[in-house]
Structure 1
Amino acid sequence: MALSRRNLALRVVASLAAVLVSGCSQLAPAEGLAPAKPKLMVLLVVDGLPMRQITQVRDQLASDGFARFLDRGQWFSEAHYGHGHTVTAAGHAVMLTGAYPQRTGIISNEWRDLKTGEQVYCTQDPAHTYIDSPTPRLAGTSPRNLKVETLGDVLRRLDPEAKVIGISGKDRGAILPAGHKGTAYMYMAETGRFASSTYYMAQHPAWVTAFNAGKPADAFFKKTWAPLLPEAAYARSVPDGQTWQVATGNGNRLPAVVGDQMDAPGPRFYGNLLASPFGDELTLAFARAAIEAERLGQRGHTDILSVSLSSHDYVNHAMGPESRLSHDHLLHLDRHLQRFFEYLDRTIGRDAYVMALTADHGFADTPEWAQSQGRQAGRLAAGPALASVNAALLQRFGVPKLARDFSASGLLLDDASIASRGLPRADVERLAKEELLKLPGVLAVFDEQQMRSGDADKTPYLAAMRKSWDPERAPGLQYVMQPGWFLSSRPGGSTHGSPHVYDTHVPLLFWGRGISALGARPERVEIADLAPTLAGLLALPAPAQAQGRNLQLR
């Protein structure tokens, strides 16, 4: 039946109104309604970056690298890890699970099996191998040792079409954030390629094969790492060439030529590449290739991309965070991030994604530098320390090597030997604890009874060490070094792994869709809060074992 002019006019008006309402709803959500979910969530991890390093060079940052978070996002000036043994694997496991090592089971990068004493690597899985790359013993090939789910696992359980991809220069930096249902790609330091493992797929997709075929790592052969700024800009940092700065790999002075005195790219060059700004540049290039080929954030599903940038950790281990090399590396990284953000803006849309940036741990200053500044600091060599404890146990009980080894942040006793000889285990543990406390630099030792207790003991560091302790994997005796001290067999460089503020205080920065530009927030928070907070932004439930809270960024 033909429409009257009046009815036709009413329908046209109604249609125009619907179009206008629909258009407005895409621009801004109606009051009281939740904003649309972001198309892509990007987690950026800078391995081994203390928060103090960012604030110390804030005046030298580019306009849209770290500054995007600091000036136009939200960031927490007092974000800390809550667990005591602050190392790469433990931190990466906390980020997207929201759970401490006591629940994740990732107590360290490696540890000793409590019964056999055999070494266990955090992401090892003999059932799987790298694709198109050699697989060394104890290589990281799957998340089998991770006991809990990640935010990506939650996302893919609710939306199997969503994609979760983890990328890193280190296997643990890719595998642990990717979780059980994601896909991990890691840099192969022997070949300069990126690879996944048979846990995730039988063979690489064509885009990975093509990326590796282009040999992008080789483009950095003989490339010079030169200071980004004039010499005067580094007056706040310790000059190059100090005796405690490890001069292996790329040396300990800038400018440095990566691949110097080598005839062609090879395993040594590919390994050295990671300890330079070019390692991060290569990792971000692979991340861009993943975004394009997998169409992350461009398919009508919310995806998660985790990119862990490993190079800063290598630089800090060799040179210390106080060094000019570390200072300059951070500035190069800042510029790499700015270019990556520009790419995301073009590809995903500036208002269509969210980003979070954090680190897996902080760093201690090198002991020699700290001593030169009048601070107490030092190195306790692991071998002599173990021998000293065993000598005391031998004298008292007549049995050699009752202390097997240091494992994660603890001392592993030989329980089989103790039991077979009928020794009173409590007495062995008590003497071992006493001897540990006699060693230079040891601040506290907690025994198994203290670790198992669920009380609210206010003993300093005990709560943090409990959060690091999984009784199925960690020794009962847990130690804490004095500030500025660490247990190490290295003659130079620096490290991390303590519950002290220089190791726990890391960046926690946010920017993107649905995040208010409030700038700095001073309340103390923990990195365990990251997963529940991101879950809130993605309108997802937090991972089941999460111990953190939603920080409410809207």
Structure 2
Amino acid sequence: MKNFIIIFLSFSYFSTYSQQSTPKLLVSVVVDQMKYEYVDRFWNEFGEKGIKKLVNEGIFCRNTHYNYIPTYTGPGHASIFTGTTPSVHGIIGNNWYSRKDFSPVYCAGDWASQTICLCKKPHEKTNPGSGQMSPISLLCNTVGDQLKIKDSLSKVFGVSIKDRGAILSTGALADGAYWLNYNAKWITSSFYRNNLPEWVVKFHKNHTVESYMNNSWKGTNFEYDLNKIFLETGPSSIKASPKGNNYTLDFSKELIKNENLGIDHHTDFLVISFSSTDYVGHKYGPDAEEVKSMYLNLDQQIADLIEFLESHCGSKEFIISLTADHGAGTSTGEIEKKRLKGGNFISREIFPELNSQLELKFGVPNILARYSNMQFYINHQKIDSFNISKIEVFEEARNWLKKQSSVDEVYSIKTLANAMWSLKINSLINGIYPERSGDIFLTLKPGYIEWATKTGTTHGTHYNYDSHVPLFFYGFNIRPKQIYRNVKIIDIAPTLSILLKSAFPNACTGNPIGEVFKNKN
């Protein structure tokens, strides 16, 4: 009887929701490198109309985690919007190597596409192929793809400083994706269109990078002359400042207005990925005042976005979702200062040293061909020609790597298949696509990051500091609630699909967050 009541109530929530109309516009915000803890850490200094508004008037999932390794930008955006892991969608990192010839592969790269920009020559030295991009490496559909299949008049766009943030989040059927080139100009590729729309041309005339970088960026203990930085390092310097997010938001608002998003009953979908938080996070580390300043600025930018959407679409006629593509580890300098466990794993030193050890053992140089994403690629043709066993190579590599103070464990596909279930094992398996991944996989001990300096930070592991991210839903038919149960990042896509009344992405392995559709407090 109890089970029947639960099933009936769950059905009632979804049925009640399904009787409502869809929002005019769904805006999915991804904040690059936003750690979950930032919401509470900076709470007292946030305004009332930004992140606090999302918390107080929306749904806040406090226990949202990535369920794969490695936690990087490309896989993050792909997983959020396909509802599955790299083991299915194939985006195993920002970069990887071809298993045929060990040539580098970029997650959004596409040599068949051409740069569409304002430059006189698409591939002049100031813009070397930065528009040769598309979602060709993404192996399954996104939320946006399913929306377009359902209603071809719905519009789907992506905007991000980083190409992968705009492209992998929106999929193959998107009406457009825009990102910055090396001169901080908004560009796209011939995968989407053959020329820039006139409104983009006007945007560049009315919103020069220099106009954003004409003042200073100040904190209690820092001050940067942005105009001086701009003059010394060029337009791309906007990316690593709060102004990069302003530039992204202003472009997104112009896109909404000029592409007529959110004005009729054909629900539109826009992904805005704020990348500047990641550039600043990498440079200074999560405990730096500069990072705090970035999130106080982000809070104002979210407030600006909400106010704009209320004016453009009508109050609560839209939905905003907000999450992050990964978190970040504590800087090694901070770890040492606080006498915590952790440190650096410097792959550029480990890789040649391990190859030397294998040569000492087997008498053959360069048995390992490449390293990427905490994975080593074995040169199978070479070891086969010398009649060296792959198992022997793995065992020797594992024994040597395990002696490194930063390394937790080392695996192969075979040892993973036979390992006892754990969160770590499951995360590793979820992150492997055998036709693209390496042969030897390692995990780091808690507190260790793949980074060469004591300042700044990176990400990539399965630990909470990298995997735990905030998740909000705000707007149309959303009632305030905080959810404390575990939510996986792959649960976002089916939730968005229900909000859009479209099919789940075709390879989705996540589950919808049922509490989002409950219309009563």
| TM-score (normalised: structure 1) | 0.86
Match of 1:355 in 2: 320
233, 246, 271: which one aligns with 1:281? 246
Alignment RMSD: 1.8
Residues 96-175 of structure 1 aligned to structure 2 (within 5 Å): 96-132=81-117, 133=119, 134=123, 135-136=127-128, 141-175=133-167
* Secondary structure of the structure 1 residue equivalent to 2:82: coil
35, 41, 45: which one aligns with 1:50? 35
Match of 1:493 in 2: 456
Do the aligned partners of 1:140 and 1:172 also contact (CA within 8 Å) in 2? Answer: no
Cα deviation code 1:422-469 (max 9, x no counterpart): 211211122112222222201111112034x2x783245111010000
Matched, 1:259 2:227: yes
Task: Give the superposition deviation at 1:378.
Answer: 1.1
Matched, 1:483 2:483: no
Cα deviation code 1:302-354 (max 9, x no counterpart): 00000000011011101101111101110011011101110110001122111
Cα deviation code 1:62-98 (max 9, x no counterpart): 1111112110011111100011210000100011110
Task: Give the superposition deviation at 1:175.
Answer: 0.3
Match of 1:26 in 2: none
**Structure 1, 125-134 or 304-313: larger mean CA deviation:** 125-134
* Secondary structure of the structure 1 residue equivalent to 2:320: strand
Task: Give the superposition deviation at 1:189.
Answer: 4.3
- Give the structure with higher Rg (CA): 1
Match of 1:86 in 2: 71
* Secondary structure of the structure 1 residue equivalent to 2:479: coil
463, 468, 488: which one aligns with 1:505? 468
1-structure distance, mates of 2:419, 2:387 = 34
Matched, 1:66 2:51: yes
Do the aligned partners of 1:189 and 1:270 also contact (CA within 8 Å) in 2? Answer: no
Do the aligned partners of 1:130 and 1:198 also contact (CA within 8 Å) in 2? Answer: yes
**Which sections of structure 1, spanning at least 5 residues, go unmatched?**
1-29, 232-239, 241-253
Task: Give the superposition deviation at 1:215.
Answer: 4.2
Match of 2:502 in 1: 540
* Secondary structure of the structure 2 residue equivalent to 1:178: coil
Do the aligned partners of 1:276 and 1:315 also contact (CA within 8 Å) in 2? Answer: yes
Do the aligned partners of 2:343 and 2:449 also contact (CA within 8 Å) in 1? Answer: yes
Do the aligned partners of 2:230 and 2:237 also contact (CA within 8 Å) in 1? Answer: no
Q: Which runs of 4+ in 1 moved over 6 A?
A: 30-33
Do the aligned partners of 2:230 and 2:238 also contact (CA within 8 Å) in 1? Answer: no
* Secondary structure of the structure 2 residue equivalent to 1:483: coil
Cα deviation code 1:266-290 (max 9, x no counterpart): xx33221111110000000000000
Q: Aligned AA for 2:337?
A: S
* Secondary structure of the structure 2 residue equivalent to 1:339: helix
Do the aligned partners of 1:140 and 1:171 also contact (CA within 8 Å) in 2? Answer: no
* Secondary structure of the structure 2 residue equivalent to 1:511: strand
**Structure 1, 359-368 or 410-419: larger mean CA deviation:** 410-419
Do the aligned partners of 2:333 and 2:454 also contact (CA within 8 Å) in 1? Answer: no
Task: Give the superposition deviation at 1:186.
Answer: 3.4
2-structure distance, mates of 1:189, 1:202 = 17
Do the aligned partners of 1:171 and 1:187 also contact (CA within 8 Å) in 2? Answer: yes
Match of 1:17 in 2: none
Do the aligned partners of 2:181 and 2:187 also contact (CA within 8 Å) in 1? Answer: no
* Secondary structure of the structure 1 residue equivalent to 2:116: coil
2-structure distance, mates of 1:300, 1:108 = 37
2-structure distance, mates of 1:492, 1:139 = 32
* Secondary structure of the structure 2 residue equivalent to 1:439: coil
Q: Aligned AA for 2:509?
A: Q
Do the aligned partners of 2:116 and 2:131 also contact (CA within 8 Å) in 1? Answer: no
Match of 1:251 in 2: none
1-structure distance, mates of 2:348, 2:229 = 34
Match of 2:3 in 1: none
Match of 2:11 in 1: none
* Secondary structure of the structure 1 residue equivalent to 2:228: coil
Match of 2:4 in 1: none
**Structure 1, 277-286 or 455-464: larger mean CA deviation:** 455-464
| TM-score (normalised: structure 2) | 0.92
Q: Are the structure 2 counterparts of residues 33 and 95 from structure 1 closer, same or farther at C-alpha, using a change threshold of 3 Å? A: closer
Q: Percent identity among equivalent residues?
A: 28
